Structure 1
């Protein structure tokens, strides 16, 4: 049975994807009419969608003019990396300290995602990004804290806007896999200290890549 997606949800997804993919760049002023035409809906659901995006900090609304795509600032980059550190180190410690059966089940899922990343290093980069994101999300979701999982999702959405074209080279992707391997090994072996260090090292790489000051 297919769930019908509301006009507001369609407009929201369309506009958000365009912002995250940088088809709407920071500083662009987008009109309700542009989105309505792109989605094939009236302006009312578009207004509701833009209100949601404003609440997420992605746009700033100007009545009768449209919505300004909020540019990525250095402060936002720093905040995203700092918050990711807090969330991901905490949840990796919990994962590595979990019971053996729980760790093994998580490790199997993480190993499958790592295999997918290896397959896509010189293939579909979007598939690589999705597997990368899901690897981290599995660890965060394993904490059982839905608030942390929602926060992680919003952080990775924001980070997508920060990735300049060409920043994800093959060598960087291979290094990513090595860092993920270290996280997986620490979780599988039940070593919280090593898991925390591995995540910190991985976040150091992400901070360097994005030019974060944290």
Structure 2
């Protein structure tokens, strides 16, 4: 049962993150069971988990829907990210070990290469690299409660797909900020690390908000 629940959870979550299931889409256990190849019982359990994480909204007497975010939601999410990930960066500057710093450096270098040439740009790889970088930095802060607090915030569908809304210049700026964060960690400078992370998160928020504006005219 646990394996089936995990399989259903991953299949549905991946569908939300990739955009197969769009914000506002109605999700039924029957359809999801057919798509994920498991029975409806583990799908319902997976849906409860996704609801708890904020990826799905359950409306009484109507059913389950992929969560939608408006401008107010985005501001609230990114305000929390500034506080929590800013703290994570500062904490990591004190607790990150050499292995973690080198792994972060490798990810930052890879991201820089990924966004250097628009002809070879792969946004799926960019997003995966970015997610790995942020997860590792939070892990380096060595605070399990912080990881739990951040999990549902950074899993919001629009947040996960932010990179798909960036211009090339914004992607390159983000890569530069990753490299600067690693420099701050190497220097064990918590204020520097927090400052860079704050700028990084706010830049992501602004890019996301800008992408949601209606086209002119």
Name the TM-score, length of structure 1 as normaliser. Answer: 0.84
Aligned partner of 1:116 in structure 2 is 110
How far off is 1:168 after superposition?
2.4
- Please give the alpha-carbon distance, in whole angstroms, between the structure 2 residues aligned to 1:82 and 1:161: 13
Matches within 5 A, 1:72-111: 72-98=69-95, 102-111=96-105
Name the SS of the counterpart of 1:97 in structure 2.
helix
Q: What residue ranges of structure 2 are gaps of 5+ in the alignment?
A: 211-217
Aligned partner of 2:215 in structure 1 is none
Aligned partner of 2:127 in structure 1 is 129
Structure 1 pair 198–159 and aligned structure 2 pair: CA distance change class (3 A): farther
The worse-fitting range, judged by mean Cα deviation, of 144-153 and 133-142 is 144-153
Q: Which of 28, 31, 34 is the matching residue for 2:28?
A: 31
How far off is 1:58 after superposition?
2.4
The worse-fitting range, judged by mean Cα deviation, of 137-146 and 152-161 is 152-161
- Please give the alpha-carbon distance, in whole angstroms, between the structure 2 residues aligned to 1:198 and 1:113: 17
Aligned partner of 1:70 in structure 2 is 67
- Please give the alpha-carbon distance, in whole angstroms, between the structure 2 residues aligned to 1:131 and 1:148: 21
- Please give the alpha-carbon distance, in whole angstroms, between the structure 2 residues aligned to 1:31 and 1:110: 40
Structure 1 pair 63–147 and aligned structure 2 pair: CA distance change class (3 A): same
Structure 1 pair 163–131 and aligned structure 2 pair: CA distance change class (3 A): closer
- Please give the alpha-carbon distance, in whole angstroms, between the structure 1 residues aligned to 2:157 and 2:67: 14
The worse-fitting range, judged by mean Cα deviation, of 49-58 and 80-89 is 49-58
Name the TM-score, length of structure 2 as normaliser. Answer: 0.83
How far off is 1:117 after superposition?
0.8
Name the SS of the counterpart of 2:142 in structure 1.
coil
Aligned partner of 2:213 in structure 1 is none
Structure 1 pair 118–153 and aligned structure 2 pair: CA distance change class (3 A): same
Aligned partner of 2:148 in structure 1 is 150
Q: What residue ranges of structure 1 are gaps of 5+ in the alignment?
A: none
Aligned partner of 1:43 in structure 2 is 40
Over aligned residue pairs, what C-alpha RMSD do you find?
A: 2.5
- Please give the alpha-carbon distance, in whole angstroms, between the structure 2 residues aligned to 1:84 and 1:183: 16
Aligned partner of 1:183 in structure 2 is 181
Does structure 1 conserve the Cα–Cα contact (< 8 Å) formed by 2:5 and 2:43? yes
How far off is 1:79 after superposition?
2.0
The worse-fitting range, judged by mean Cα deviation, of 53-62 and 190-199 is 53-62
